[in-house]
Structure 1
């Protein structure tokens, strides 16, 4: 970082007005230094290699290399910058699962949300600097560890381990976390394959439940299994998934 704690920031956005808005918002933030503005993906990669920013505010929809491709290119650098995605389209969130972004902001960018993202980037960079270089990175998990879902303020990161249950709604899946829920564009079969089977179990063609969120099972008048959940709700068990009940109960 320049000047002690100054955070070096590179903007990459092909929309002049959007880039100008980010510049104006950054002018109000303390201890940041704008090192440049790129207007396409290729320029963003070249400028990042030359200017070595700490943080890149990266538009996703750009000509040539898009933001996802730029982030992948930057991750190959020795000391790669932190990345905050700027987007007008929430459907890019699923495609960005494998990119280590610090945050996602929806256009038009809110000043307070931008400030929070910058502070998150500072914390990330401090933690990375304090991590011993010789420490081997943890092996990548084969399971989905997180999701990004639309929120009024932008996109929200949801850790898989925090999800109580997943229910299907037409072409979307609803992720239930405590008293809140979010819709994501995904398929139930893909989620069943992607979620760790040691943590989650499919009980119905339209429902996946975290195993430790199940408090018990009962049968209804027709003999169908019903899962009792920790929040007091009940989840019918599909006939095709009755074996799951026996497996959970050890029978």
Structure 2
């Protein structure tokens, strides 16, 4: 980076007013320096190769190559710039996760959210050398993107206490908070580390160390007692998981 405390930032957005707003917010933010602007995907790539920014504030819906495509193309650079998506749409969160975006901001961007994204980027760049790249580290899901009032938030898989199904969505429960994500239960069961998580019902996955015990109801079906004092019925098709956990 240009300075230990300053990020070199490139803005890529095809909407002039949106790009201008980002420039104004960036000028008021701490530890950031604007080095250029681009209005389409190809220009974003060319300017990145010429200017070597630390961070791209990158729109997704742009003429030609979209923001996801830009992020994928730049991932081949060593080192590649950090990417924070800035968009009016939340349906690209999964794709953003796949290209290892540092953050995902919803338009109109609030000053505190931009500052938080800059702080996250700084931390990401400082510790990037210590992190395994996607596909070369764990084979299991390590994090999720979920909608938040101010945009989207990154949730570490290891922090999820349990997952419950709600129609076409899954609810991630983390302490007293929860978030909805657009995944299937089957995909989550396949993607979450089986050493950490277990599926106990067709509509429930639970982190193993969140289970405090098991009991049976009057009909003989297993019930899992959880650390938050709630209970999770165990589906008949998953009763073998109880014996596996209990070592019986």
- Which category describes the TM-score, using the shorter chain as reference length? over 0.9
Partners of 1:93 and 1:46 in 2: CA distance: 25
Q: Which runs of 5+ in 1 are unaligned?
A: none
Partners of 2:56 and 2:237 in 1: CA distance: 48
Once the 2 structures are TM-superposed, how far is the Cα of residue 137 of structure 1 from its aligned partner?
A: 6.5
Q: Residues 212 and 3 from structure 1, CA distance in 2 versus in 1: closer, same or farther, beyond 3 angstroms?
A: closer
Structure 2 residue matching 1:70: 3-state secondary structure: helix
The residue that corresponds to 2:162 in the other structure is 165
Once the 2 structures are TM-superposed, how far is the Cα of residue 89 of structure 1 from its aligned partner?
A: 1.4
Match of 2:152 among 151, 155, 158: 155
The residue that corresponds to 2:70 in the other structure is 70
Structure 2 residue matching 1:79: 3-state secondary structure: coil
The residue that corresponds to 2:109 in the other structure is 109
Partners of 2:191 and 2:4 in 1: CA distance: 43
More deviation, 226-235/15-24: 15-24
Q: Which runs of 5+ in 2 are unaligned?
A: none
Once the 2 structures are TM-superposed, how far is the Cα of residue 249 of structure 1 from its aligned partner?
A: 1.2
For 1:11-90, what aligned pairs fall within 5 Å after superposition? 11-90=11-90
Partners of 1:5 and 1:231 in 2: CA distance: 41
Q: Residues 244 and 3 from structure 1, CA distance in 2 versus in 1: closer, same or farther, beyond 3 angstroms?
A: closer
Match of 1:245 among 237, 242, 245: 242
Partners of 1:136 and 1:177 in 2: CA distance: 25
Q: Residues 245 and 72 from structure 1, CA distance in 2 versus in 1: closer, same or farther, beyond 3 angstroms?
A: same
Structure 1 runs (4+) deviating above 6 angstroms are 135-138
Once the 2 structures are TM-superposed, how far is the Cα of residue 136 of structure 1 from its aligned partner?
A: 8.4
Once the 2 structures are TM-superposed, how far is the Cα of residue 3 of structure 1 from its aligned partner?
A: 6.3
Q: Residues 32 and 96 from structure 1, CA distance in 2 versus in 1: closer, same or farther, beyond 3 angstroms?
A: closer
Q: Deviations over 1:20-48 (max 9, x none)?
A: 11011112124432111111111111110
Structure 1 residue matching 2:220: 3-state secondary structure: coil
The residue that corresponds to 1:202 in the other structure is 199
The residue that corresponds to 1:236 in the other structure is 233
CA RMSD of aligned residues (A): 1.9
Once the 2 structures are TM-superposed, how far is the Cα of residue 230 of structure 1 from its aligned partner?
A: 0.7
Once the 2 structures are TM-superposed, how far is the Cα of residue 127 of structure 1 from its aligned partner?
A: 3.4
Partners of 2:167 and 2:87 in 1: CA distance: 25
Once the 2 structures are TM-superposed, how far is the Cα of residue 6 of structure 1 from its aligned partner?
A: 3.5
Once the 2 structures are TM-superposed, how far is the Cα of residue 141 of structure 1 from its aligned partner?
A: 1.4
Q: Deviations over 1:225-244 (max 9, x none)?
A: 10000110000001111111
